[in-house]
Structure 1
């Protein structure tokens, strides 16, 4: 089976919001073995929505629309779908009752136009919305499945997972399973060169390198009669890739670098303390986004000024005068200082020039110094990064986390 996703809403075409619905649905459909060949976006216009539906009907087994289920006049998805299928709309009483209850719970008065959200063809399987006022629907007609979903991700995602996905699972035979390898420290072109022969002979499983923010992701996808069989098909390919890339492969699927670092620290029963300058606390933010970070992170200090480096971390004024804030010597003393002050097993520090100002010929934008201090000694690293200010900060934080990861192996 193949599917087409039609995102409805002029705000998508105007670039006011990103169509994350299509990404989410595509990922979900892939686990069911349903191929997605087309993503379409159309504005809030009945004629153009109708054209999109006709085109989709000529090439897709499943048509999924997102958005356009609100109470206002420009919300036309359901009405246009009913017209396309030659069906009449009528009030679905359970949905109307749920909408009325929603407004009562919110302490607001329901206006008459909200009633249109309870209008559905009598042939439809109505999908309840526990997170808003717009129910969805599944309609089978002409050997085709039509699925109507609300646009807000907070409403669409639980509706899809809880109601649409189980429904579609009963209609499919094959399953698609993907494993994503997360790679850091090796560029996309270098990764491709190392596995070029695998890419050239791939069939099932397939291999797809994906460049991301500061890292490369390698998606291995297998299609089989069951998830278990697909997983088995992926294993030898995964092992082959890992043997070629070595410890550049740091994690899998949705596990970010900071999660791997926290896991390693916890397993070794070690504590971490951070001293940040140019990243302004970004490393700390990444780490504390992970539940359980308090098990391993003792403290963090953002010492943006020279005065703070001296006062909070004990960096020598002589070091700052002689070498400057952006230097391996200052990074060294920052890492040692935060480790000793906090009592942590590892002190990690970062200082540099994120730009666009503050650079000199000797110290250009993107010059970064990292340092790790432990009871076994203190080391520093020099990096030369490129990009705008935010990209440099992000890349510098990932480099520090990656060094932490490798040091804990």
Structure 2
């Protein structure tokens, strides 16, 4: 009998995971493999043997890995980050709106791919131009002139703006340079600001992503959902 469990991890790369669970990897009773893909790592655990034995070994190894990786494990098997975030929003009775620029609607698409997302998702605005950032979201033209569209000030204003106009209690915003053009020495391709707003917090962090335009967009959406998850768990500042 073969038993398989997949643990889904965000916020750590494969090398960091292997270092944290190095002793567990020495176990001969199970096979552990890693699959890295655009902002997440899947840990596949395979145990062979009689049903009771393989299930017991699998559970033991899973628990030991969880002890080392904690909340960096966001799901199991077929669970996606957007699914897990949706469950958290629903369980906490929160609503979400998104303002996105460089991801071009990808974040909102991922959220609304989940059945029942209408229970917590209020609005998604693709504010690609500076005019829309100003007119719709209320981003200050002075801030745009001084700091630019790709800045912490703009990301925070986008998050607060979309929350205000949609009456959501939680908001997420992303702005950045997806490439392949449009970068500069100060803000090279892959520079992204991600902001989350809610519960009296307006948090923003700067990132640099690498890859093709499509890869960068996906990585940004993944990191944004990861940050939103930490926020909903009440562990945002601890994780970032």
- Normalised by the length of structure 2, the TM-score is 0.94
SS at match of 1:315: coil
Whichever of the two has the greater Rg, that structure is 1
CA contact (8 A) 1:346 1:374 kept: yes
In structure 2, the partner of 1:171 is none
The structure showing larger relative contact order (alpha-carbon pairs under 8 Å, at least 6 residues apart) is: 2
Which segments of 5 or more consecutive residues in structure 2 lack a partner in the other structure?
Answer: 234-240
Kindly tell me the number of residue pairs found equivalent between the two proteins: 233
2:143 to 319, 323, 338: 319
In structure 1, the partner of 2:119 is 295
Counterpart-to-counterpart distance in 2, 1:236 and 1:408: 28
Which segments of 5 or more consecutive residues in structure 1 lack a partner in the other structure?
Answer: 1-174
CA contact (8 A) 1:261 1:405 kept: yes
Question: Which runs of structure 2 are paired with 1:45-124 in the superposition (5 Å)?
Answer: none
Counterpart-to-counterpart distance in 1, 2:22 and 2:57: 19
* Superposed CA offset, 1:89-118 (max 9, x none): xxxxxxxxxxxxxxxxxxxxxxxxxxxxxx
2:9 to 183, 188, 192: 183
Counterpart-to-counterpart distance in 2, 1:274 and 1:265: 14
CA contact (8 A) 2:24 2:64 kept: no
In structure 2, the partner of 1:13 is none
In structure 2, the partner of 1:249 is 73
SS at match of 2:136: helix
1:286 to 110, 113, 119: 110
Q: Does 1:307 find its partner at 2:131? A: yes
In structure 2, the partner of 1:234 is 58
2:188 to 361, 364, 383: 364
* Superposed CA offset, 1:3-57 (max 9, x none): xxxxxxxxxxxxxxxxxxxxxxxxxxxxxxxxxxxxxxxxxxxxxxxxxxxxxxx
In structure 2, the partner of 1:334 is 158
In structure 1, the partner of 2:21 is 195
Considering only aligned residues, what root-mean-square deviation do their CA atoms show, in Å? 1.1
Residue 229 of structure 1 and its aligned partner are, at CA, apart by 4.5
- Normalised by the length of structure 1, the TM-score is 0.56
In structure 2, the partner of 1:74 is none
In structure 2, the partner of 1:205 is 30
SS at match of 2:67: helix
Q: Does 1:217 find its partner at 2:49? A: no
Residue 375 of structure 1 and its aligned partner are, at CA, apart by 3.5
- Which segments of structure 1 move beyond 6 Å, counting only runs of 4 or more? none
